[in-house]
């Protein structure tokens, strides 16, 4: 990641975070800039991610977005590693397109059955069949989880 700076977001980053999230077709509800880290290159925000708390106490690795022209350079991996290293422990969940499942498996996540999911994720996974961008692309929504003993470094 030469030439890039990974740092906590500041309030002025919020419009850039929103733009990345919307461009990545990620759910833009409940965004709070204080939970985000961003990656900056030459003064421009090119990527972001967060650990998002839910009302039931579960935590979600969420909103991992990288501008298309910067993908494939390990930026998402650095964001994920950073967020997981800073995470306080306990189970961690995420939702992603089915094509991204193998990426998250490298970090110790696995696909969860409906019975294993916290209530919030069960509800969202049931609604996922109605999300047009997923349906039209042939993708499905995966809900994945990781126990605190799952390790933090990505495996090759």
Q: What's the pLDDT tens digit per position in 1-60?
A: 678 999 999 999 999 999 999 998 888 888 999 999 999 999 999 999 999 999 888 999
Task: Taking residues 143-156, report their average pLDDT.
Answer: 64
66-84 pLDDT tens trace: 999 999 999 999 999 999 9
- List all residues 6 or more positions away from 115 whose beta carbon is below 8 Å from its beta carbon: none
In whole angstroms, give the CA distance from residue 6 to residue 119: 33
Enter the pTM of the model: 0.86
Q: What is the pLDDT of residue 155?
A: 43
Task: Show me where the domains of the chain are located.
Answer: 4-146
With bands split at pLDDT 50, 70 and 90, how would you rate the model's confidence at 131? low
> What are the backbone dihedrals phi and psi of residue 11, each rounded to the nearest 5 degrees, phi first?
-55, -35
- Under CATH, domain 4-146 is a member of which superfamily? Gcn5-related N-acetyltransferase (GNAT) (3.40.630.30)
Cα-based torsion angle of the residue sequence 57, 49, 116, 54 in order, rounded to the nearest 10 degrees? 20
């Amino acid at each position: 990641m030469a030439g890039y700076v990974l740092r906590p977001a500041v309030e002025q980053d919020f419009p850039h975070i929103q733009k990345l999230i919307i461009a990545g077709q990620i759910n833009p509800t409940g965004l709070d800039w204080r939970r985000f880290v961003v990656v900056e290159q030459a003064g421009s925000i090119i990527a972001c991610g967060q650990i998002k708390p839910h009302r039931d106490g579960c935590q979600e690795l969420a909103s991992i977005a990288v501008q298309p022209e910067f993908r494939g350079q390990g930026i998402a991996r650095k964001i994920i590693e950073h967020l997981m290293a800073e995470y306080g422990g306990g189970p961690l969940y995420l939702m992603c397109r089915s094509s991204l499942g193998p990426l998250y498996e490298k970090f110790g996540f696995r696909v969860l059955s409906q019975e294993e999911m916290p209530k919030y994720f069960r509800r969202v996974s049931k609604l996922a069949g109605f999300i047009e961008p997923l349906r039209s692309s042939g993708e499905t929504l995966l809900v994945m989880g990781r126990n605190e003993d799952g390790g933090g470094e990505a495996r090759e």
